[in-house]
Amino acid sequence: MSRIEISVLSPQAALQAFADTWQQAETGERAGSRLAFGSLRELFSATTEKRLDLLRHVASHEGLNVRQLAQSLGRDCKNVHTDVTELVDLGLLERGDDGVLVAPYDELLIHAGIRDAA
């Protein structure tokens, strides 16, 4: 099962996570897939309910292009294109050379603390 960890990190924690990943890469250790946001607002803005529904649909029905996806979801093609572009930019969707969409992860693991670290 392929998984991506999505976190809300303070700037300091983001720098530490980057340093840890760099260190793993230098030793040849393969780091897991990660995505970080600076705030809950950024996370929720990027991963809206409609985008997550779209992502789930692609994971269950791979091989669709944007037009087919919009039709399947009963949504406007332009809005689906915008959502697909954002999800591709985040690395949560991949687009093949033929425009076919693929969900590279089976699971999203979201970490979002509600208190500042002491």
Each residue's pLDDT tens digit in the chain (118 positions)? 799 999 898 778 777 877 877 787 788 777 678 888 988 899 999 999 999 999 999 999 988 999 999 999 999 999 999 999 999 999 999 998 888 999 999 999 998 877 665 4
pTM of the entire predicted model? 0.82
Q: How many CB atoms lie within 10 A of CB 117?
A: 7
Scanning the chain, the segments in alpha helix (DSSP H) are 11-26, 40-46, 49-60, 66-73, 77-90
First to last CA, the chain: 34
Domain range summary for the chain, segments of one domain joined by +: 3-111
Of 83, 77, 73, the closest CA to residue 51 belongs to 83
Predicted confidence at residue 118, as pLDDT, reads 42
Predicted confidence at residue 23, as pLDDT, reads 81
Question: Among the CATH numbers 3.40.190.10, 3.30.2350.10, 1.10.10.10, 2.40.50.140, which is that of 3-111?
Answer: 1.10.10.10
**Distance in angstroms (rounded) separating the CA atoms of residues 29 and 21:** 9
**Distance in angstroms (rounded) separating the CA atoms of residues 80 and 59:** 15
**Distance in angstroms (rounded) separating the CA atoms of residues 59 and 28:** 30
